[in-house]
Structure 1
């Protein structure tokens, strides 16, 4: 639970530059506007990307705000970050 809280806090502290950097690091691009829209959503909502159903809702809402493509990119980025830090075990069905 503690690790999840740290990660959620870090998500709330992300900047556009962070998202742009991570997207390039993990092999895809998002625009500055897409990064801004993703951050706005993250900061305005109580998200729990570790629970599959809540992540699905988050991605559906993000797709409405930005685009389906951007929501998919956000999901890929989140999953890549979780896997790269060896935190797969925190994901819940």
Structure 2
């Protein structure tokens, strides 16, 4: 069941829209510009890494940092943890 839920959430990450990402960034007070959000969404759609695996998440964030900036990658990391906490699955990201 856990694996299925993680697959579902990973798929949801790959289907996020720029508007949804901007909504979440405002909700959690994480600064992401519209152009950064577009770049993040494009990178997430192409990403094959498992965000629930620490090494996979690290590779995903490093790829994102190369496309945008280290600060943007850090912002995405914060946002991912805040979303996981909201849904009670932050332990999946340990």
TM-score between both structures, scaled by the size of structure 1: 0.93
Listed as ranges, the gaps of 5+ residues in structure 2 are none
Moved over 3 A (4+): none
Aligned to 1:7: 9
> TM-score, normalising length from structure 2?
0.92
- 1:23-62 alignment, distance < 5 Å: 23-62=25-64
Give the alignment's Cα RMSD to 1 decimal. 1.0
Distance (whole Å) between structure 1 residues aligned to residue 11 and residue 26 of structure 2: 22
Report how many aligned residue pairs link the two structures. Answer: 92
